[in-house]
Structure 1
Amino acid sequence: MSTTPEHPERSALSPATIVVSAGRPARAQGGHINPSVPMNSTYVSRGVVTPDELSYARGDNDAWHPFEEALAALEDGGTAGPADGDAAGGAQQPAEALVFSSGMAAVAAVFSLLPDGGTLVLPRHAYQAGMVLARQISERHGVTLRYVDIADTDAVVAALDGADLLLVESPTNPMLEVADLPAVLGAARAAGVRSVVDNTFATPLGQRPLEHGADVVLHSVTKYLAGHSDVVLGALVTRDADLAATLREHRTLHGAIAGPFEVWLALRGLRTLALRFERAQASAAELARRLAEHPEVAEVRHPSLPGDPGHARAKAQMNGFGAIIGVRPKARAGAADPVGRADAVVDAVRLWLPATSLGGVESMLERRRRWGTEAQTVPEDLLRLSVGIEDVEDLWSDLDQALRTP
């Protein structure tokens, strides 16, 4: 449901403008410039219920519409993707966004598309809770899991044979591998395999997977979109109307619905996404450059670094390199405990927050393998850094002293 019938053509606007302008109430003298927070569980309704009618808030809720419109406009980008129209240039199907109670609720909705006994192709490195759910679905429903290095295009294409669903993270969590989105999504479409891209790390400002042929885009709204570490939400975006209806039905029947106030907070946070993400990306690139030269650092992963395995691919298909850094501290002479070394760095920071989330205005770090469910191929001493919007010199000073602490 559009709340902004009067606006310039989306294709004429920058994403930095769309993020501010989309999802506004219609202009009226004395009217609100921000949507209100309708606190309703039930709506007046009589007779046969039509698909677009508000009747009960679990099925649809006008509190969700402004945020969903804004996110759909951001991921849509005003450009038809390979799935839109026909070879002669048919009309584009506009994107539709669905907000969920959490990122994991959105992941569960995506996995519900798998048939019993089906096959899921997924990255060997990805959000660990999603991987746990995939294993549970495999055990309970006979789903075959094919793990791939998502940066190895040939391996991904080979794994698509006979598959039902492809899940892509790019860059991956926490290893920051970068997939060739046009190639793997094009191969999935050619093979008749549905594709889902988790765009949480890149955000719609960094890349728009629908333009590369993704069937569904997944977000943990908790992270960059909301941006203030104060809500837990998820979202899915698709241009396939039938698929949107299926995912909406799952949301309704499984009760994976978001609260009105949480969605309102997410929309308020979304307004500053362009500024927050621009600052965080720039700081991350500078910190990665300095960390790569630090005498107490053994390895740094960030796609901005010319020597990073994902650099060329990210430069070609992304707008920026993201704000997540992977760091492995250098082992000290005579010390044989890389885990203890990494944990000591976490204990020594004073400005950076030891925390498990990411994408907020505050900078956070953690050793990822402290989670027992993290992939065993993730180095035990890998620190994942989520760069926020603090002054970069303050962030560097804190990291430097933590790395040098005896």
Structure 2
Amino acid sequence: MHPGSPCSRCLSHYAHGVKDVTPSTWVVAGGRTFNPGDPLNVPITLASNFRAGTDRGYSRGEGTATWEALEELVGGLEGGRAVAFSSGMAAAAAVLNLLSTGSHIAFPDDCYHGVVALIDEGVEKGRWSSSRFAGADTASCIEAVLSADLVWLDSVSNPLLTVADVPAIALAERKPGGLLVVDNTFATPLNQRPLAFGADIVMHSATKFLGGHSDVLSGVLVAQDPDVVAALADQRHHGGATPGALEAYLVTRGIRTLAVRMRQAQANAIDLADRLQNHSEILRVRYPGLVSHDTYGVAQRVLDGPGAMMSFEIAGPADRATAFCDALRIIVHATSLGAVESSMERRAGTPGQEHLPPTLVRFSVGIEDVDELWGDIVQALEASGSHR
């Protein structure tokens, strides 16, 4: 871990007597109660209404113990107060809804296409204006901060794996009242905590690495400013974007193994990225852990690890990349990411992603045996070779 990293320091937490522990311990110990006789895991509260006499009246607004545990867990990991949502896109929509009509949004050239679609829709309806900047160019990012009411960044971008210099951008002079939002889905709180660098809001699609098992839709926002936290909670309440009790439980259970899952998946990714960049059928590998990566230097400064996501380009036409994905046997050909199973997808075939290199494949590395994963990649390259 790099010196002074927010992830390399111990965490201090505000509840249940667990203090000064590392993230690897907090994912297990956080979000639990410590009263004699309490269940070890917070129960799934299947109730939408509560008896009068407390401040908990209706779960859409006041919540349940199940998703309060999730919020404490993620809030502690990120160093703020968390607000849980029904999905990552619901969380993103809540952030954008904080803006007044006529606001300006700046976001990078490589950004999750769902968020881009949401921003573009607001532009078409006259709600706000927007501009894009080169995410790999820190100077361009800093210039955007000066005039934007909201700057949207990814700690590690999807799908080109550009690493943003969040500390430098956060330190830049901002437009008064301007917000810096960082999607930390790819890095996870184990590899970066953007609030410690000066971000205002951190977002997670908890469907991905936090949940980690391809069995739940969820999103989380984290902030330190009490007014921002309250505004986000209001957006959730008024928009009806509250998480279900079972979904909150599943994400909480997934986070319990986040550290060990990420450790194995990241080790696999480091190994496979090196093998891929040395394979004659692979034109380019984008992975923050490779010296050849555009933002490798930034990654070394702002991340505690290169993560478990990468993308690579296969030699040949676009249909070869599709045939390659179809030929996989262990690795799943699927669109989502961040789960225990490895998955791949040709991203240029996705609506809104046509600008990407035609043979770019996004690779979410799982926790399987690394040699068997490599064997699957090699056989799929051979099987798709006739499409060259």
More displaced stretch, 33-42 vs 214-223: 33-42
Q: What is aligned with 1:132?
A: 117
CA distance in 1, matches of 2:367, 2:147: 45
Letter paired with 2:42: P
Cα offset for 1:117?
1.3
- Alignment pair present for 1:250 and 2:203: no
Q: What is aligned with 1:289?
A: 274
Cα offset for 1:4?
8.5
Q: What is aligned with 2:67?
A: 64
Indicate if the aligned counterparts of 1:114 and 1:120 stay in contact, CA closer than 8 A. Answer: no
- Alignment pair present for 1:354 and 2:324: no
Match of 1:228 among 193, 196, 213: 213
Indicate if the aligned counterparts of 1:75 and 1:208 stay in contact, CA closer than 8 A. Answer: yes
Q: What is aligned with 1:13?
A: 21
Q: Segments of 4+ in structure 1 off by > 3 A?
A: 3-6, 188-192
- Aligned Cα root-mean-square deviation (Å): 1.5
CA displacement 1:229-288 (0-9 Å, x = unmatched): 000000100001001111111100110011001100110110000000111111001000
Cα offset for 1:192?
4.4
CA distance in 1, matches of 2:382, 2:282: 10
Letter paired with 2:204: H
Q: What's the TM-score once normalised by structure 1's chain length?
A: 0.89
- Alignment pair present for 1:276 and 2:280: no
Q: What is aligned with 1:398?
A: 376
CA distance in 1, matches of 2:90, 2:42: 25
Q: Which sections of structure 2, spanning at least 5 residues, go unmatched?
A: 1-12
Match of 1:40 among 44, 47, 54: 47
Q: Which sections of structure 1, spanning at least 5 residues, go unmatched?
A: 77-94, 332-337
Indicate if the aligned counterparts of 1:97 and 1:237 stay in contact, CA closer than 8 A. Answer: yes
Cα offset for 1:343?
0.8
CA displacement 1:298-352 (0-9 Å, x = unmatched): 1111011111112111111111101111110112xxxxxx211111111111111
Match of 1:54 among 49, 56, 73: 56
Indicate if the aligned counterparts of 2:145 and 2:169 stay in contact, CA closer than 8 A. Answer: no
CA distance in 2, matches of 1:32, 1:156: 47
Q: What is aligned with 1:263?
A: 248
Cα offset for 1:162?
2.5
Letter paired with 2:21: L
Indicate if the aligned counterparts of 1:122 and 1:148 stay in contact, CA closer than 8 A. Answer: yes
Cα offset for 1:5?
4.4
CA distance in 1, matches of 2:312, 2:381: 11
- Alignment pair present for 1:319 and 2:304: yes
Superposed counterparts of 1:3-402, under 5 Å: 5-9=15-19, 12-28=20-36, 30-45=37-52, 53-62=55-64, 63-76=66-79, 95-187=80-172, 189=174, 192-331=177-316, 338-374=317-353, 376-402=354-380
CA distance in 2, matches of 1:224, 1:383: 19
CA distance in 1, matches of 2:223, 2:157: 21
CA distance in 1, matches of 2:47, 2:178: 39
CA distance in 2, matches of 1:296, 1:170: 29
Q: What's the TM-score once normalised by structure 2's chain length?
A: 0.93
Letter paired with 1:64: W
- Count of matched residue pairs: 371
Aligned partner of residue 64 in structure 1, secondary structure: helix
Aligned partner of residue 201 in structure 1, secondary structure: coil
Indicate if the aligned counterparts of 2:27 and 2:77 stay in contact, CA closer than 8 A. Answer: yes
Cα offset for 1:188?
5.4
CA displacement 1:361-393 (0-9 Å, x = unmatched): 00000001111212x432121100000111111
CA displacement 1:144-187 (0-9 Å, x = unmatched): 11101112111112222331000001210001111111111121
Indicate if the aligned counterparts of 2:147 and 2:174 stay in contact, CA closer than 8 A. Answer: no
Cα offset for 1:115?
1.5
Aligned partner of residue 249 in structure 2, secondary structure: helix
Identity of aligned residues (%): 42
CA displacement 1:92-111 (0-9 Å, x = unmatched): xxx21010000000000011
CA distance in 1, matches of 2:145, 2:254: 37
Q: What is aligned with 1:91?
A: none
Q: What is aligned with 1:85?
A: none
Letter paired with 2:46: M
